[in-house]
Amino acid sequence: FFLLKHYSMGASQSSSSQLESQLAGVPGEIKPKKLRQLHQQVLFEYPFLANIFESMLITDCRLPDCPIVYCNDLFEQMTCYPKEEIIGKNCRFLQGVDTDKNVVRSIRKAVDEGLELEVELLNYRKDGVPFYNVFLMLPIHAPKKNSGTVQYFIAIQKDITILRQPGSNPQAWTPAEVGMWLYHSGLSSFMQPFMDNGVTGEQLLKLKSYDEISGIADESTIADQKVLLTKVTQLANNPAKSYQVDISKINQFQYTNNPENAENSNRLQLGDKVYVAN
C-alpha cells in the first residue's frame, strides 16, 4: 500500500492492519473504519498507486478549509512535524516567505474545482529547513465512483532538493535556496540568520570578509566564518560541484519504530521529545 514504505497495496487483512497502525489517535484524525473504506476507494480509482511508497496525506474537502485528516509516518519524517501538529491543519502550514504564490493559487483552484494537480512547491520543515517538494494531489470520490462530488484529496509528496539543487545557478538562488545550500553544506548555524536577512545567491557570492558575515550572523564564530568563506569561494569557482549534500542531514530525524511491532515502538523523535505510536 502506498501509505506504507515496506508494504504493497493489497486487499489483505494484514495490509489494512498496517495502514491503521499509522493512525496517531489525535483529534480530527480519520477513523479506522473510514480509512479502510478510503483504502479500497483509492485502489479503485488509482490502482497505479499500489507500488508508490512516499510521503502522503489525506484531506477532507467537505470540512471547512480542507483539513488534513490522515498522514503517514513518512510525511512526519519529511516535514519533521509530528502528527499531533499536522492533523486538522490545512496543507498551507508548510508554506513560507519564498513559497511561490502562483503555485499556491493553482493548488487552491484545483481543490475548488476537484481536479488532479502535480506541481513543484517550496516548503519548510518544522526546524525551518526549506525543501523542494514535488506534490501530486488526486481527488477521491464517493465509493465505487470515479467522478462527481469530490469528498477527499490524497496528496503524495517527494522531497527533491538533493536532486534539483546540485548544478543550479547560485547567482539566481533565492534566500530559501541559500538556506538549503548552507544546511546541506554543514553550515546550518548560518541558515536562519541568512534567510531572515533575505540573503540571495548573488549576495552570498559577494561575501569577502568576516565583518560582512558578522553583520548577518552576529553570533557566528571566526572559525565558522572562515569555513563559510572557503565554501563560498568553492561555490563561486565551481558551482556544479560545490553543492555538497550531506545525506545524513536529510535522515537525521529517523524512526525508531519497527512496522512489524508498531505498538511497542516510537513513531518520531524530535530533539528530546518522543512521539509514540498509539
Residue 53: per-residue pLDDT: 73
pLDDT at 247: 54
What mean pLDDT is predicted for residues 60-70? Answer: 95
Task: Write the pLDDT tens digit of every residue in 228-242.
Answer: 999 999 999 888 776
Grid coordinates of 35? 480509512
pLDDT tens-place string over residues 152-165: 999 998 888 877 77
Instruction: State the Cα–Cα distance between residues 101 and 255, nearest whole angstrom.
Output: 33
Whole-number pLDDT of residue 16: 59
Pick from 116, 120, 72, 41: which is nearest to 267 by CA?
72
Above 60 in pLDDT, residue 276?
no
Quick: pLDDT tens for 114-127.
Answer: 999 999 999 999 99
Return the DSSP state at 29.
P
Residue 198: in which H helix or E strand, if any? none
At position 247, the amino acid (one-letter code) is I
Please give the pLDDT value at position 253: 38
CA distance 45 to 154: 11
- Measured between alpha carbons, how far is 113 from 29 in angstroms, rounded to an integer? 24
Query: With contact defined as beta carbons under 8 Å apart, do 259 and 74 qualify?
Result: no
pLDDT digits (tens, 9 = 90+) for 162-182: 777 777 889 999 999 999 999
For 27, the 3-state DSSP assignment is coil
pLDDT at residue 256, as a whole number: 33
**Measured at the alpha carbon of residue 142, what is the angle toward residues 55 and 71, in degrees to the nearest 5?**
20
The pTM of this model reads 0.79
Helix/strand/coil for 245? coil
Question: Which residues, in sequence order, are CB contacts of 203 under 8 Å at separation 6+?
Answer: none
Of the candidates 37, 32, 38, the residue with the CA atom closest to the CA atom of residue 18: 32
Asked if the model's pLDDT at residue 103 lies above 90, the reply is yes
User: Measured at the alpha carbon of residue 176, what is the angle toward residues 73 and 180, in degrees to the nearest 5?
Assistant: 60
Percent of the chain with pLDDT over 90: 60
Q: What's the mean pLDDT when you consider all of the chain?
A: 82
For the record, the C-alpha cell of 132 comes out as 523542494
- Of the pLDDT bands very low, low, confident and very high (cuts 50, 70, 90), residue 245 is low
Task: Please determine, for residue 264, whether its predicted confidence score (pLDDT) is greater than 60.
Answer: no
Closest Cα partner for 257 from 274, 238, 272, 233?
Answer: 274
pLDDT at 15: 56
Instruction: State the pLDDT at residue 152.
Output: 97
HSE, CB side, 13 Å, CA atoms: give it for residue 45. 21
Q: Is 14 left (phi over 0), alpha (psi -120 to 50) or beta?
A: alpha
Asked whether residue 250 carries a pLDDT value surpassing 50, the answer given is no
